[in-house]
Amino acid sequence: MKRPFAATVWREGDWYVSQCLEIDVASQGKTEEEALANLKEALELQFEPPHATRPPKLRTIEVRLGRLKPLPFREIKRRLEAVGFVEASQKGSHVKFVRRSGEVVDTAIVPKKHEVPVGNAAEYPQPGSY
């Protein structure tokens, strides 16, 4: 089954950032076309099973504003694994990590690039921050 989604693309430094307007998913690329292709991959991963069996728990997070230092993918992976995430699947240039706690399933979709650029998910929880 296919479904269209509305998306926006803007330039942020050397990168183009793409964001789905209907689902809270974003990606990036060196060109607008690559950013949109990466967003499509990320959205496809978002809808892969497993799906939560109940509505997700609403949580509040703090976000540091301003420019963030890019982190290598391996560091983001290490931080996610340190707080219980495991690599579930990969599609194109994106990796899906999941963490299960009872019936709750947390998902993180990360672009598998040398470094995750400024403005994306470069700030993952530090081990012991929960």
pLDDT in tens, 80-113: 999 999 999 988 888 999 998 888 889 888 888 7
Q: Is residue 13 part of a domain?
A: yes
The Cα 117–Cα 126 span in angstroms is 18
Q: Quote the domain boundaries for residue 57.
A: 7-116
DSSP state, residue 85: -
The Cα 78–Cα 62 span in angstroms is 21
pTM over 0.85: no
HEC per residue, 25-83: CEEEECCHHHHHHHHHHHHHHHCCCCCCCCCCCCCCCCCCCCCCCCEEHHHHHHHHHHC
Q: Is residue 130 part of a domain?
A: no
Q: Which among 32, 8, 31 has a CA at the least distance from the CA of 19? A: 8
Q: Which among 48, 21, 22, 42 has a CA at the least distance from the CA of 105? A: 48
Q: Is residue 31 part of a domain?
A: yes
For the sheet containing 15-20, what is the strand order?
Answer: 7-12, 15-20, 26-29
Q: Is residue 48 part of a domain?
A: yes
- The label of the residue with tokens 């993180």 reads 108
Q: Is residue 81 part of a domain?
A: yes
Q: Count up the domains in the chain and report the number.
A: 1
What are the φ/ψ torsions at residue 5 (nearest 5 degrees)? Answer: -130, 140
* Widest pairwise Cα distance in the chain: 41
pLDDT in tens, 7-34: 999 999 899 999 999 988 999 999 999 9
Q: Is residue 36 part of a domain?
A: yes
Please tell me which residue, 51 or 9, carries the higher pLDDT value.
9
pLDDT in tens, 106-128: 988 888 876 665 444 444 444 44
Q: Is residue 1 part of a domain?
A: no
Q: Is residue 124 part of a domain?
A: no
Residue range 38-65: mean pLDDT, rounded: 80
